[in-house]
């Protein structure tokens, strides 16, 4: 399946909007909640995971 620039940009915008809605509902306690990780991996919190997602999405957006 071939993706065109307009479709990819629209999808990125939609995904950011969905992520923003989820993040807006988080409490201070939610941000520090530990996530399950594979044995031997550094522990992550919700904040760590969201920072990772945000960086990846921003990087993908810049490359378009």
pLDDT digits (tens, 9 = 90+) for 22-49: 999 999 999 999 998 888 989 999 999 9
pLDDT band at 1 (very low <50, low <70, confident <90, very high): confident
Record the pTM. 0.66
Q: Are 27 and 18 in contact (CB under 8 A)?
A: no
**What pLDDT does residue 57 have?**
75
**What pLDDT does residue 64 have?**
65
- How far is Cα 35 from Cα 17, in angstroms, rounded to an integer? 23
**What pLDDT does residue 3 have?**
80
Instruction: Give the rounded distance of the alpha carbon of 16 from its chain centre.
Output: 8
């Amino acid at each position: 399946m071939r993706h065109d620039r307009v479709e990819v940009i629209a999808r990125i915008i939609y995904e950011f909007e969905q992520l923003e809605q989820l993040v807006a509902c988080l409490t201070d306690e939610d941000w520090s909640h530990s996530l399950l990780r594979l044995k031997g991996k550094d522990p992550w919190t919700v904040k760590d995971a969201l920072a990772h997602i945000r960086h990846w999405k921003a990087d993908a957006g810049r490359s378009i």
